[in-house]
Amino acid sequence: MNTTTLPTAPLLKRLFALLYDLFILTALSFAYAALATLIMVNLFGTEDSGDYRPMQHGIWFQVGWLLTIVAFYWFFWRTAGQTVGMRAWRLKLVDQEGSTPSHLQILTRIALAPLSLGLAGLGYAWCLIDKNRAAWHDLASKTQVVETPKIEKKNK
């Protein structure tokens, strides 16, 4: 499939894919928190486990959680070019030549996408203005999100 000729994904589909991924990331965050709590209780005992608030007082917990989120996107974008949500909406991340993005492109995208969303969504809204439907993090990372064609199922 030649991804350079595929249409760029519209903003609404990108946001729906992000919403799907947020459900997966929530579950992943719960699993990470449970594992981190289990490790802390095993290392330090249960005396302080009632007061254990890793998100408030645990910088290492927060760093580990952030790295878990980064690993999620890095893994899916490097292996398939799609997260779970992107696959559901038939979207794929590619570089400007239509290939798998480099590690640097993915890291740039991971760092800047939250800013695009966090600044009142202006980075994502840029898709509505840009002639190529590119968000700020697309432009900075030299990547694009394209729509893949629907796969027709053959009747048996």
pLDDT band at 97 (very low <50, low <70, confident <90, very high): very high
pLDDT (0 to 100) of residue 73: 97
46 confidence band (pLDDT: 50, 70, 90): low
User: Does 153 have pLDDT greater than 60?
Assistant: yes
Residue 4 — pLDDT band, cuts 50, 70, 90? low
Model pLDDT, residue 34: 86
Q: What is the pLDDT of residue 43?
A: 76
Band (38; pLDDT cuts 50, 70, 90): confident
Beta partners for 46?
none
Residue 43's alpha-carbon distances to 36, 47, 51, 54, 79, in angstroms, are 10, 11, 15, 14, 35
Could you tell me the pTM of the whole model? 0.84
pLDDT of residue 111 exceeding 90, the answer is yes
- The alpha carbon dihedral of 129, 130, 132, 134 has a sign of negative
